[in-house]
Amino acid sequence: MGDSGRRAAVSWRERFAASRAVRLAVLGACALAIANLAGPERPLDVERRIEALLAQMTLEEKFGQLQQLSGSRPEYLELARRGLLGSTLNARGAATLNELQHAAVDGSRLKIPLLFAFDVIHGYRTVFPIPLGEAASWDPAAAERSAAIAAAEAKAVGLHWTFAPMVDIARDARWGRIAEGAGEDPFLGAAMARARVRGFQGDDYSQPDRVIACAKHWVAYGAAEAGRDYNTTDLSERTLRTVYLPPFKAAVDAGVGTFMSAFNDLNGVPTSGNPFTLTQVLRKEWGFDGVVVSDHESVLELIPHGFAADEADAARQALPAGVDMEMVSRTYATHGPRLVKEGKLAVSAVDEAVRRVLRIKLRAGIFETPYADPARERATLLKPEFREAAREIAARSMVLLKNDRGVLPLPASIVRLAVIGPLADDRRNMMGNWTGDGRKEDVVTVLEGVKAAVSARTQVAHAAGAVVDVKLLAEPEAPDDPAARALLDKALGAARAADAVVLVIGESGGMSGEASSRTSLDLPGRQLELAQKVIATGKPVAVVLMNGRPLSIGWLAAHAPAILEAWFPGTEAGHAVADVLFGKVNPGGKLPVTFPRTVGQVPIYYNYKNTGRPPNEKDNYTSRYLDVHWTPLYPFGHGLSYTEFRLSNLRLGATPISATGTLDVSVDVTNVGQRQGDEVVQLYLQDVVASVTRPVQELKGFQRVAVKPGETRRVAYRVGPQDLGFYDREMKWVVEPGEFRVRVSNSSVGGLTGSFEVR
Ligand code: BGC
């Protein structure tokens, strides 16, 4: 080829390149126009818009979408303008969020809006009971309602995404985060998970009063060894699938938009770098197509786990394992582009993660409605009907553990009432942990609630008696500490002068939740001594407990006339407690978690295995303790009422049934007392002999029913293969032939029993 020929070839190539650039630019502009078209999202449109955006993104912008940062620092405005930020957590309020959003939408090349996340766990401004408390309502409709209200408030301040529900099963009361979940049982946990996802998201999380939910923490975080937060978990795949996965699966089935990978190491592979749980189970088996966000720096923490050598290695492992978005740490953004260029990270894996993030942004409608409206914020927060719902749900969550001699309900006409205890008038602690934007000035304390409920002639005295916010690691106070003595004496004086005492004791709000594990389940500080002395006055004493975990309250169980478990009830705490104390509401909650006699029994749960030597009073060489009875203090499912219920007429449908068949079970529940009340009728099953050992019982059905005095209601269940099956030795789900026992009851102990056969 001569010179002229070479020149011609070059110029042809240049012309081609130039025209290709023009074509690409035109295509890009069209794609961008399509991508930013407003309008309702059909799935095809969403997918087209995703591809149109992806086609134009630089590698750095792709990793930008995968970055979530905390708060609202000035640096983030710059990152948003450069397309290097996908989401924030903890930034709040219309003004702050709109400033960030303008930087992304008006300032960035591709105008992709930011996704704003926050931990809206049990309410945003109107605070509901802690999730463990709400689970004690055994009322998924109540949980759905409170999540819906939390979503409406959160959306009104510009948030799109909540890091809830936490659906971790917890069998260890030492673990502080037991407060954030639904307790120890996978069946109840799954029901609550479904309800909360529905409540947060509705049918469509782009609606003005809904947010994207997040099932966390994936997975088995609640099995932390020794109940110590963030600790290692090591469990069989069977236990994982049988106990820990069902609430997550229920969340997926309910359409949850996102998952959060956890902090813990699971069987040697940290869950934020675990392809088996993140990809095999979640995506391939369950078909989840939403986003997985890491927990707070959990990608970076692959280094101290001893799983990643450095930051780049952490990113190289976490992203292809299935963590799409990185919370707070920046290993993806810092090292991702280089890893791709060096061939250490497949761009296809990055593109998939970006697609998922863009998909939830498009589905959430934030391209169309990126900004928050401050007027909406003012009009929505803490509406009277939200407070009313908080009061009702808090009262529905309370569990009457004990009520001797009918101490409760108290007559509203009582003349002298003493409201004692460090939590009685404590505005802050009644909301518990993770309180969103809950403000203590909004809280009704128990003292206030009681005063509002009693008659005009009732005199209400108050004394704290002890402190609840004690330093758990501090040296115990000297018994003769004069300040403590004065507090106690004042309370005893009030108790002696009263006709009845309400004693409000428990934990501080911060003693449960994240990083709040305890080795003792006792009442902190000198509260037990306070209770002992107040009860020794001989007055009728109703103990109201506020706590985020089961407590070992053996002494109270033996000596207090009445105990009401109120958990942390939230904004309307005082009204709700008073509603129950004075009988406006008849308590109907049940324990979603076993109360041990002592911390030494932990982990203790109702669905245990029988062992080869089931515990036996008369035989030492059985599975029991020398010093404490093996049974719990209060079993799972326990809860009393001001009325009395009787179960009768347990009926089972035609049996035997086939392995794919169903069985109808029904029972009559009669209110044989004097007051209207709710009973939670529970159904438990046991597969008596199987190819792998099965628990002595498993909850497979429950209904909370309201029954009038003298009324009988029939409660019906249908038991099917999903209730009868288990994972066999090959980890296949099977229903094996043989005998099954069924028990219908008002707790995990007692009730009516029957049996049937599967053939
Ligand atoms: C917690 C998560 C929470 C996240 C963001 C973490 O420390 O484990 O539950 O969603 O912080 O606040």
Model pLDDT for residues 317-352, shown as the tens digit of each residue = 999 999 999 999 999 999 999 999 999 999 999 999
Which residue minimizes the CA distance to atom 11 of ligand 1? 296
Residue 179 Cβ inside 6 Å of ligand 1? The answer reads no
Ligand 1 touching residue 324 (CB < 6 A): no
265: Cβ below 6 Å to ligand 1?
no
Establish how many alpha carbons lie within 13 A of residue 432's alpha carbon, considering only the half-sphere containing its beta carbon: 36
Please count the helices (runs of H) and the strands (runs of E) in the chain.
22, 25
Query: Which residues are paired to 501 by β-bridges?
Result: 418, 541
Contact 177, 166 (CB under 8 A): yes
pLDDT at residue 1, rounded to an integer? 34
C-alpha radius of gyration, the chain, whole number: 29
| Structure tokens that stand for 642 in this block | 């001001």
Nearest CA, atom 10, ligand 1: 163
Alpha carbon nearest to ligand 1 atom 7, residue: 296
Distance 674 CA to ligand 1 centre (A): 47
Contact 411, 642 (CB under 8 A): no
Q: Label residues 109-122 b or e (16+ Cβ within 10 Å = b).
A: ebbbbbbbbbbbbb
pLDDT of residue 145: 98
Going from the Cα of 295 to the center of ligand 1, the distance in angstroms, rounded, reads 6
Contacts of 461 (CB under 8 A, 6+ apart): 416, 417, 418, 419, 494, 497, 498
Q: Report residue 758: phi and psi, to 5°.
A: -110, 130
Pairing of strands 738-745, 733-734: unpaired
In short, whether 295's Cβ falls inside 6 Å of ligand 1 is yes
Q: What's the burial of 479, exposed, middle or buried (CB within 10 Å: 0-12/13-18/19+)?
A: exposed
DSSP code string of 615-672: --TT-SSSS--SSS-SS-SB-TT--B-SS-EEEEEEEE-SSSB-TT--EEEEEEEEE-
* Ligand 1 mean position, distance from CA 71 (Å): 13
Tokens of 373: 């409206």
Among protein residues, the one whose CA lies closest to atom 4 of ligand 1? 296
Ligand 1 contacts CB of residue 301 (under 6 A) = no
| CA 276 to ligand 1 center in whole angstroms | 22
Burial grade of 443 (CB within 10 A; 0-12, 13-18, 19 or more):
buried
- Closest C-alpha to 176, from 127, 129, 138, 231: 231
Residue to mutate, 69, 118, 162, 163, ligand 1, most ligand atoms under 8 Å from C-beta:
163
Q: What angle do CA 738, 743, 745 make, to 5 degrees?
A: 170
DSSP symbol at 443: P
Question: CB of 89 closer than 6 A to ligand 1?
Answer: yes
Q: Which residues pair with 664 in a beta bridge?
A: 718
| Atom of ligand 1 minimally distant from the CA of 262 | 8
Q: Is the Cβ atom of 213 under 6 angstroms away from ligand 1?
A: no
Active site residues: 295
User: Ligand 1 pocket, 177 CB below 6 A?
Assistant: no
* C-alpha torsion sign, points 223, 229, 230, 231: negative
Binding site membership of 163 for ligand 1 (Cβ less than 6 Å): yes
Task: Give, using CA atoms, the residue closest to atom 6 of ligand 1.
Answer: 296
Taking the centre of ligand 1 as the mean of its atom positions, its distance from the CA of residue 6, in whole angstroms, is: 63
Two tokens at 37? 């078209």
Q: Which atom of ligand 1 is nearest to the CA of 163?
A: 10
Residue 119 in tokens: 């931990």
Q: Is 216 in the pocket of ligand 1 (CB under 6 A)?
A: yes
Question: What is the distance between the alpha carbons of residues 216 and 120, in angstroms, rounded to a whole number?
Answer: 13
Rounded distance from Cα 51 to ligand 1 centre (Å): 31
Pairing of strands 663-671, 712-719: antiparallel
Ligand 1 centroid to 667 CA: how many Å? Answer: 43
* Residue nearest atom 5 in ligand 1 by C-alpha distance: 296
Ligand 1 within 6 A of 514 CB?
yes
What pLDDT does 478 receive? 74
For the Cβ of 117 lying below 6 angstroms from any atom of ligand 1, the answer is no
Residue owning the nearest CA to atom 8 of ligand 1: 295
549 lines ligand 1 (CB under 6 A): no
pLDDT digits (tens, 9 = 90+) for 733-756: 999 999 999 999 999 999 999 999
What phi, psi does 634 have (nearest 5°)? -130, 125
Tokens of 407: 């101490």
From the list 69, 72, 68, 118, the residue with the least C-alpha distance to 96 is: 72
Query: If we measure between CA atoms, which residue out of 361, 278, 365, 288 comes closest to residue 54?
Result: 361
Distance 343 CA to ligand 1 centre (A): 32
Atom 12 (ligand 1): residue with closest C-alpha? 119
The angle that helices 186-201 and 246-253 make with each other, rounded to 10 degrees, is: 30
The best mutation among 167, 325, 514, 517 to test binding of ligand 1, ranked by most ligand atoms within 8 Å of the C-beta, falls on 514
SS3 breakdown of the chain: % helix, strand, coil, rounded to 5? 35, 20, 45
Torsion 472-477-483-484 (CA) sign: positive
What's the 449 CA to ligand 1 centre distance in angstroms?
A: 33
Contact indicator for 387, 571 with CB cutoff of 8 Å: yes
Q: How far apart are the first and last CA of the chain?
A: 85
- Residue 653's pLDDT is 97
- Contact criterion met (CB below 8 Å) for 315 and 332: yes
pLDDT value for 479: 73
Distance 296 CA to ligand 1 centre (A): 6
Helix (H) or strand (E) holding 193: helix 186-201
49 lines ligand 1 (CB under 6 A): no
Whether 296 lines ligand 1, by a CB cut-off of 6 Å, is yes
Q: How far is the CA of 623 from the centre of ligand 1 (A)?
A: 38
Which residue has its alpha carbon closest to ligand 1 atom 2? Answer: 295
Which pLDDT score is estimated for 41?
Answer: 52
pLDDT score at 13: 38
What DSSP state is assigned to residue 462? Answer: E
Q: Which residue type, as a one-letter code, is found at position 237?
A: E
Q: Is 142 in the pocket of ligand 1 (CB under 6 A)?
A: no
> Can you list the residues of the chain whose pLDDT is less than 70?
1-42, 475-477
Question: Candidates 69, 92, 119: which one to mutate for ligand 1, based on the most atoms within 8 Å of Cβ?
Answer: 119
Nearest to 466 by CA among 419, 405, 411, 528: 528
